[in-house]
Amino acid sequence: MTERLRIALQKSGRLYEQSLSLLERSGLHISKSRNRLYWRVENLPIDILLVRDDDIPHFVSEGICDIGIVGENVFLEASYSGLKGADLTTTLPLGFSHCKLQIAVPKNIAYEGPQSLAGMRIATSYPRLLEVFLEEVGVDAQAFEMDGSVEVAPRLKIAEAICDIVATGATLEANGLVPVDTVLTSQAVLIRAQADAGADKEAIITRLVKRFRGVIASEDNKYIMMNAPATAVDQIAALLPGAGAPTVIPLFGQEGMVAIHAVCHESVFWETLEALQEVGAGAILVLPIEKMML
């Protein structure tokens, strides 16, 4: 009997929603029971455990789960803190849940680079990441570990600065803080133990990674089609963003006219379409790609 692979996912929030979308778009048929801790995949030997994001690196490290999807910030903080069990590695950056771990100070502080932090107490939920940053820039400051709303620390005189995840910056502004330095730019990553998981599980992991890569590629790529004079093919190929050699097909009953199809690996803007039209292209269509196998 094939061993079932276990995947650890965050149990709620934006990362949960995006991780679940990735799995479903990769063709996994998930049986979602009322139990929000354990789900089963029907068409592949895979089980899903829904846990706190901070627990995901520990679950994978200790062999409770084989792989996990977690923010890079959480993974690195756990790694620097010294995980028990097996060493972990990131298998694939997933391209969603982007965020920044930033240092912020009160608006009335004149910040002139990391040296301005010398002697300060910095409140953070990511003490190991902050300590690594301070060591790299050669600054002697104290990382003060604090769970929850660290942005209130300067106002409550608990710390002079903070180091926290920043998305829009609205929470910082509401507390009279401004971001001044970036400790880490993070995204969701697929993690696993470095040790071999066994033939059955390795085959499933390899299959999943290929599907994940295809889903990620399909999000970043567009399929573009147009009609144009055959004489304009070279100009059009040069204008297509990030495309390889396009497919060129003669149009039936229209001598000298061709259909051009291409996969564009970069964004296709209105300016691109206007430039294509200027060199003779018409009936231009830009379509999303649902599935893609690399």
- Answer whether residue 135 is part of any domain: yes
Say if residue 130 is in the same domain as residue 177: yes
pLDDT in the model for residue 170:
85
Phi, psi angles (nearest 5°) of residue 77: -60, -45
9 & 90 share domain = yes
Report the pLDDT value the prediction gives residue 87, as an integer from 0 to 100: 84
Residues 6+ apart with CB under 8 A from 191: 56, 57, 60, 67, 68, 69, 70, 75, 88, 89, 90, 91
Average predicted confidence (pLDDT) for the chain: 92
Q: Which of 7-21, 68-82, 160-174 has the lowest mean pLDDT?
A: 160-174
Q: Give the range of the structural domain holding residue 151, as residue numbers without chain letter.
A: 99-186
Q: Please check whether residue 294 lies inside any domain of the structure.
A: no
Element (H, E) at 205: helix 199-220
Min mean pLDDT across 32-36, 72-76, 98-102, 228-232 is at 32-36
Residue 208: both structure tokens together = 């999943």
Tokens of 122: 């910095």
Q: Is residue 237 part of a domain?
A: yes
Q: How confident is the model at residue 265 (pLDDT cuts 50, 70, 90)?
A: confident
Model-level pTM greater than 0.75? Answer: yes
In a domain, 120, yes or no: yes
List b or e across 140-168, with b for residues whose CB sees 16 or more CB atoms inside 10 angstroms. Answer: ebbbbebeeebbbbbeeeebbbbbbbbee
Residues 169-175, mean pLDDT to the nearest whole number: 87
In this structure, the answer to whether residues 10 and 89 fall within a common structural domain is yes
Q: Report pLDDT for 85.
A: 64
- Sorting pLDDT into bands at 50, 70 and 90, what band is 1? low
| β-pairing verdict for 38-41 and 46-51 | antiparallel
CATH of the domain at 283: 3.30.70.120
Shared domain for 48 and 194, answered yes or no, is yes
> Greater confidence, 82 or 50?
50
* Each residue's pLDDT tens digit, 145-157: 998 889 999 999 9
For residue range 85-132, list pLDDT tens digits in order.
668 899 999 999 999 999 999 999 889 999 999 999 999 999 999 999
Alpha carbon of 186 to those of 99, 122, 173, 282, 288: distances in Å?
5, 20, 22, 41, 26
| pLDDT at 169 (0 to 100) | 80
Is residue 198 exposed (0-12), middle (13-18) or buried (19+ Cβ within 10 Å)? exposed
Q: Is residue 176 part of a domain?
A: yes
- Does residue 210 sit in the same domain as residue 69? yes
Encoded tokens for 265: 């690996």
Q: Are 220 and 214 in contact (CB under 8 A)?
A: no
Give the pLDDT confidence score for residue 133 in this predicted structure.
Answer: 96
pLDDT tens digit sequence for 252-262: 999 999 999 99
Contact between 151 and 172 under an 8 Å Cβ cutoff? The reply is yes
Residue 84, pLDDT above cutoff 80: no
User: In the structure, what pLDDT confidence band is assigned to residue 194 with cuts at 50, 70 and 90?
Assistant: confident
CB 16 within 8 A of CB 30: no
pLDDT surpassing 90 at residue 192? yes
Predicted local confidence at residue 41, as pLDDT: 95
What are the CA-CA distances from residue 236 to residues 210, 232, 240, 268 (Å)?
Answer: 31, 6, 6, 13
